[in-house]
């Protein structure tokens, strides 16, 4: 039972995120095929047995006709998914524009885009208007499906207006909001023209969650400095109403990774990889191809290491798996070309007729292939310039119980707070330091590797995705009950 006396087993959880956890492909006028995309959030909530979860979000496709929309809604219902239909213009202005071109870079300390800063006016304002409109469309769908006693959990920077829209519909609704990216210093947030509106909209939630205490602290500072509200140990208070603010570091479904290593197909793949790279140490990078991941910096550090350590040149290989994302955005296209150019130069410089030091793939790998790669890796390189948490570092650790490889981890990833004691922490901007850390990792004694791995493995297997989701939702239930008690007093 929850604090409110309601059995949790009957409580419904409405998970609202920009994207549904399924991809929809249209096969005919009224026929759709659906494929589950098992991201971190999906596996986190699959493991949560206490709540009956339903998903609300955009299916990632434009469906202009009513018959198509009805057919898709029906197909999705079987997967407990409820679609929000967004037309092309809204997607362009809300998703590509305000979310990915303004909030994403700003929250990762990359600043606002120049053209918007100079001529803010039209494009910024119309994108912000589309953002509010899209959030209102999500709220309409949530409101249609909401039943008394449900818990509504809103996710990420796409939906910062959602708590406000939902509370306007129904002030009794239990609403939580969680941010998957960093929340930047209030000095960065205050450059955003819509800084106050966004903060007020988020504060309409009962519980606001971040990956780390630093992000929670930045958010509270933004509310006190920009809005003049009061920051308390519990959260942010304004005119007697408290919004609880706290850190809920996400984890992974570690058992799923550990179990995968026993699958015969994965074991075969591990053997193949070991044969292919026999005599060489394997270094691994797995990232979405995004500027926040620091991929050029990582590759340049590897080049410096090879430059300074000729003895290692034929004894180490870097496998960089980079899934392209947001491929229609010019900055991302530029990043892809930049990475290709650096990799080409380094392979030209240090390669031989039969081997190259860097294997760079522009694609994603399936789950089993990824697990096999994690398992054969000697050193994982996570050099994000900023990263909310970074689940790749967790996944690597989960797959390393027999090898006990070394994790080189950016101090600007949220994961540095939890895996810092076991990893080698680096400033990814300092190429010399990262190059030296590669040498240190490759030469580390088995005793030290074991000690560091033990620490990280214990963390990754106890602080799981399931635990994260359960903690957030029960805290949300408790927060609402406590608020009701306060009002009655």
Pairing of strands 31-36, 12-19: unpaired
Please report, as ranges, the residues that interact with ligand ADQ according to CB under 6 A. Answer: 40, 180-181, 250, 286-288, 321, 323, 364-365, 370, 387-392, 395
* Encoded tokens for 224: 């006190």
**φ and ψ at 455, to 5 degrees?**
-60, -50
| Cα dihedral across residues 334, 126, 182, 257: positive or negative | negative
Residue 182 beta carbon to ligand ADQ: minimum distance, rounded to whole angstroms: 8
In the complex with ligand ADQ, the residue whose CB is nearer, 253 or 303, is 253
In the complex with ligand ADQ, the residue whose CB is nearer, 110 or 365, is 365
Whose structure tokens read 């606001």?
A: 208
Task: Calculate the CA 467 to chain-centre distance.
Answer: 17
In the complex with ligand ADQ, the residue whose CB is nearer, 46 or 365, is 365
In the complex with ligand ADQ, the residue whose CB is nearer, 204 or 382, is 382
Burial label, 462 (beta-carbon count in 10 A; 0-12, 13-18, 19+) = exposed
Residue 364 beta carbon to ligand ADQ: minimum distance, rounded to whole angstroms: 3
In the complex with ligand ADQ, the residue whose CB is nearer, 382 or 444, is 382
Among 324, 316, 399, 390, smallest CA distance to 359 is for: 316
In the complex with ligand ADQ, the residue whose CB is nearer, 180 or 452, is 180
Q: How crowded is residue 197: how many other Cβ atoms within 10 Å of its Cβ?
A: 16
In the complex with ligand ADQ, the residue whose CB is nearer, 11 or 100, is 100
In the complex with ligand ADQ, the residue whose CB is nearer, 40 or 57, is 40
Calpha distance 132→383 (Å, rounded): 34
Residue 286 beta carbon to ligand ADQ: minimum distance, rounded to whole angstroms: 5
Residue 362 beta carbon to ligand ADQ: minimum distance, rounded to whole angstroms: 9
Among 453, 317, 329, smallest CA distance to 397 is for: 453
In the complex with ligand ADQ, the residue whose CB is nearer, 376 or 389, is 389
Calpha distance 457→439 (Å, rounded): 23
Residue 183 beta carbon to ligand ADQ: minimum distance, rounded to whole angstroms: 12
Q: Are 381 and 408 in contact (CB under 8 A)?
A: yes
Burial label, 353 (beta-carbon count in 10 A; 0-12, 13-18, 19+) = exposed
CA atoms within 13 A on the CB side of 214: 16
Residue 279 beta carbon to ligand ADQ: minimum distance, rounded to whole angstroms: 26
Residue 390 beta carbon to ligand ADQ: minimum distance, rounded to whole angstroms: 5
Burial label, 447 (beta-carbon count in 10 A; 0-12, 13-18, 19+) = exposed
Pairing of strands 241-247, 207-210: parallel
In the complex with ligand ADQ, the residue whose CB is nearer, 181 or 477, is 181
In the complex with ligand ADQ, the residue whose CB is nearer, 180 or 189, is 180
Query: What is the H or E stretch that residue 174 is in?
Result: strand 174-178
Q: Are 82 and 145 in contact (CB under 8 A)?
A: yes
Q: Are 299 and 339 in contact (CB under 8 A)?
A: yes
Calpha distance 37→33 (Å, rounded): 13
Residue 237 beta carbon to ligand ADQ: minimum distance, rounded to whole angstroms: 27
Residue 446 beta carbon to ligand ADQ: minimum distance, rounded to whole angstroms: 27
In the complex with ligand ADQ, the residue whose CB is nearer, 108 or 452, is 108
Calpha distance 291→107 (Å, rounded): 13
Q: How crowded is residue 464: how many other Cβ atoms within 10 Å of its Cβ?
A: 22
Provide the angle, in degrees to the nearest 10, between the axes of the packed helices 295-308 and 431-442: 60
Residue 395 beta carbon to ligand ADQ: minimum distance, rounded to whole angstroms: 5
């Amino acid at each position: 039972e929850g604090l409110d006396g309601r059995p949790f087993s009957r409580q419904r959880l409405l998970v609202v995120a920009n994207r549904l956890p399924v991809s929809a492909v249209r096969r005919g006028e009224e026929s759709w095929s659906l494929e589950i995309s098992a991201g971190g959030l999906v596996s986190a909530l699959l493991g949560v047995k206490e709540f009956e979860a339903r998903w609300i979000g955009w299916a990632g496709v434009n469906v202009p006709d009513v018959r198509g929309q009805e057919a898709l809604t029906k197909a999705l219902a079987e997967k407990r998914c409820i679609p929000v239909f967004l037309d092309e213009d809204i997607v362009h202005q809300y998703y590509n524009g305000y979310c990915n071109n303004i909030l994403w870079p700003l929250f990762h300390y990359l600043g606002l885009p120049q053209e918007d800063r100079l001529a803010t006016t039209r494009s910024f304002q119309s994108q912000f208007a589309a953002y509010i409109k899209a959030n209102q469309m999500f709220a309409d769908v949530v409101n249609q499906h909401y039943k008394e006693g449900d818990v509504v959990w809103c996710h990420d920077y796409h939906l910062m207006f959602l708590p406000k829209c939902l509370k306007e519909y129904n002030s009794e609704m239990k609403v939580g909001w969680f941010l998957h990216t960093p929340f930047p210093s209030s000095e960065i947030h205050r450059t955003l023209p819509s800084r106050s509106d966004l903060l007020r909209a988020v504060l309409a939630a009962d519980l606001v969650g971040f990956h780390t205490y630093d992000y929670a602290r930045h958010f509270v500072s933004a509310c006190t400095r920009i809005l003049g509200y009061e920051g308390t140990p519990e959260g942010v208070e304004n005119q007697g109403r408290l919004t609880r603010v706290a850190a809920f570091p996400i984890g992974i479904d570690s058992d799923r990774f550990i179990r995968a290593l026993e699958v015969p197909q994965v074991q075969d793949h591990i053997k193949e990889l070991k044969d292919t790279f026999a005599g060489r140490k394997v270094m691994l990078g797995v990232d979405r191809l995004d500027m926040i991941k620091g991929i050029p910096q990582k590759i340049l550090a590897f080049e410096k290491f090879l430059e300074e350590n000729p003895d290692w040149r034929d004894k180490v290989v870097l496998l960089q798996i980079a899934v392209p994302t947001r491929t229609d955005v010019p900055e991302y296209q530029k990043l892809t070309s930049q990475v290709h150019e650096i990799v080409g130069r380094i392979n030209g410089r240090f390669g031989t007729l039969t081997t190259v030091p860097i294997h760079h793939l522009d694609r994603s790998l399936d789950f089993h292939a990824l697990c096999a790669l994690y398992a054969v890796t000697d050193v994982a390189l996570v050099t994000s310039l900023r990263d909310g948490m970074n689940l790749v570092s967790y996944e690597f650790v989960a797959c390393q119980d027999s090898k006990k490889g070394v994790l080189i981890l950016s101090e600007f990833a949220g994961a540095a707070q939890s895996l810092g004691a076991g990893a080698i922490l680096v400033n990814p901007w300092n190429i010399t330091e990262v190059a030296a850390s590669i040498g240190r990792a490759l030469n580390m004694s088995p005793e030290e590797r074991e000690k560091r791995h033990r620490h990280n493995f214990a963390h990754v297997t106890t602080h799981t995705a399931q635990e994260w989701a359960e903690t957030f939702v029960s805290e949300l239930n408790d927060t609402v009950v406590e608020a009701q008690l306060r009002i009655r007093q």
